[in-house]
Amino acid sequence: MRFLCLHGRGTNSDIFESQLAPLFSRVSPHHTFDFVDAPFDCVAAPGISQLYQPPYLAWHTQYEPQHVEPVHDFLRTVIEEDGPYDGVIGFSQGAALAASFLLCHEHYAQIRDPGRRHRPPFKMAIFINSVMTFSPSEHIGSNISQQIKKQEEKHFAFLEGADSLETEDYTPTETYTAIEGDSIYGFPTDTFAPRISIPTLHLYGTEDQFLEHSETLVSLCRGDRAEVLPVRGGHELPRTNAAWDKFAALFEMVAMTATLMDQSSRRGSATTS
């Protein structure tokens, strides 16, 4: 299977490839992984600048639909020009972007928008330590401006690249700007009905400061097609061989499920056509 890989905020495609390296030796060599750089510069994620060279990139640095929609268009162009892809793997902001992209697809499929294809853009998705998901349209999802303002206040140190050990006494720098707008949209589970229908795997650290968003994302996926792997750790990739082994085993299981579902769907389409 061929996977599109979306890195987290404050890193880049090469860094994410390095972070995912322990997975490659544990899964089938027939899988291939394409890593794409996000379009915007930002500060390095906590601890990254000590280990990796810039650039440090973000998928978006503002959250309103007019800033999220172009990133969806960017991702759609990557898929059209370099795809097709069987699956997507996202970490942190990359996971949230992949989830938002898929949730919008499910929205349009539910309303049967005649101008859009209704076959999912991927057969499976791997979400690692997702953060909050944002909608590219005020017509998809609900206004979450107040929630995200609270989240930014809670996590501003991380957003500025401060190490987790510094966050307790951290104060914003002169360049820090709080969210002022009231037009940010997202996917609250109690008001947004569609669910990601493809098989998914959710890996997250049990001490991740953004844990609530990974748990919310699980709820935004079909429960009978979602595998969940909590591992000890924070907002990071697994730190132990045992965790990587479990991750790889579930990865292959979800890939097999996705392949079988896709084959069944194609047979069904051929029968009805």
Between 146 and 236, the more confident residue is 236
Domains and CATH numbers, the chain: 2-272 (3.40.50.1820)
Which residue matches tokens 């890939």?
A: 255
| SS3 of 102-170 | HHHHHHHHHCCCCCCCCCCCCCEEEEECCCCCCCCCCCCCEECHHHHHHHHHHHHHHHCCCCHHHHHHC
| Cα distances (Å, whole numbers) of residue 181 to 143, 149, 223, 261 | 11, 9, 34, 42
The predicted pLDDT at position 238 comes to 96
For residue range 207-216, list pLDDT tens digits in order.
999 999 999 9
Q: What is the DSSP string of 10-33?
A: TB-HHHHHHHHHHHHTTS-TT-EE
Distances, alpha carbon 88 to alpha carbons 71, 174, 190, 202, in Å:
15, 37, 26, 12
The pLDDT of residue 153 is above 80 = no
Q: How confident is the model at residue 112 (pLDDT cuts 50, 70, 90)?
A: confident
Structure tokens at 146: 């107040």
Mean pLDDT on 40-65: 94
Is residue 68 over pLDDT 50? yes
- Sorted by sequence, the CB contacts under 8 Å of residue 220 that are 6+ apart come out as 99, 103, 133, 187, 189, 192, 195, 196
Higher per-residue confidence, 76 vs 182: 76
Handedness of CA 221, 23, 230, 169 (dihedral sign): negative
Whether 229 shows a pLDDT value over 60: the answer reads yes
CA–CA separation, 202 and 212 (whole Å)? 13
What crossing angle do the helices spanning 65-82 and 93-110 adopt, rounded to 10°? 90
79-111 pLDDT, tens digit each: 999 999 999 999 999 999 999 999 999 999 988
Provide φ and ψ at 238, rounded to 5°. -55, 150
Task: Write down how long the chain is.
Answer: 273
Confidence of residue 149 (pLDDT cuts 50, 70, 90): confident
Q: Rounded to the nearest 5°, which phi and psi values hold at 118?
A: -105, -5
Query: What pLDDT score was predicted for residue 244?
Result: 98
